[in-house]
Amino acid sequence: MGESWGKSAQPGWIFGLSGGLGAGKTHLVKGLARGLGVHRRVVSPTFALVHEYPGGRLPLAHLDLYRLETPSQVLGAGLEAYLPYPGGVTVVEWPERWPDLRRSCHSAKLRSVAFELLSESERRITYEDSGA
């Protein structure tokens, strides 16, 4: 699914991925990167907050807000430049931690993706598009 989304992604698109630890968010980002033609190894930016992946059809910015516990920490991290990522695609893991993310995205297309862990090997993934 991520690879398919990456192939059709347009500049300025934002993906917000919600779900518990181990639900598959970063795995979806790996597929998205493949679809964008990114050939670098994709890893979770939990400790770095953001990883940038240039070199594909569109550059990819992968943000992980897990370690930011308060709205002021998120806003103080200086990540607004990635909404939208100039000429590229942004993925935000744990978007519910970003105060009023939808408004921060301006007129960009935002795909909100929810991961529900059903079993060790089964997930329910739902998504909703908003914006441009």
Residue 40 CB neighbour total at 10 angstroms: 13
Whole-prediction pTM value?
Answer: 0.92
**Which parts of the chain register pLDDT below 50?**
none
- Residue 53 tokens read as 């992946």
Q: Report the pLDDT value the prediction gives residue 14, as an integer from 0 to 100.
A: 95
- Given the DSSP bridges, would you call strands 50-53 and 60-64 parallel, antiparallel or unpaired? antiparallel
Q: Report the pLDDT value the prediction gives residue 130, as an integer from 0 to 100.
A: 87
* Domains detected in the chain: 2-86+93-130 (3.40.50.300)
Cis peptide before 11 (omega within 30 of 0): no
pLDDT (tens digit per residue) in 7-37: 999 999 999 999 998 899 999 999 999 999 9
Q: What is the 3-state secondary structure (H, E, C) of 22-69?
A: CCCHHHHHHHHHHHHCCCCCCCCCCCCCEEEECCCCCCEEEEECCCCC
> Rounded CA gap, 30 and 76, in Å?
27
In the chain, what are the helix, strand and coil shares in percent, each to the nearest 5? Answer: 25, 30, 45
Q: Report the pLDDT value the prediction gives residue 67, as an integer from 0 to 100.
A: 92
- Contact indicator for 28, 1 with CB cutoff of 8 Å: yes
> Rounded CA gap, 57 and 35, in Å?
9
Residue linked to tokens 């978007």: 95
- Residue 105 tokens read as 């995205």
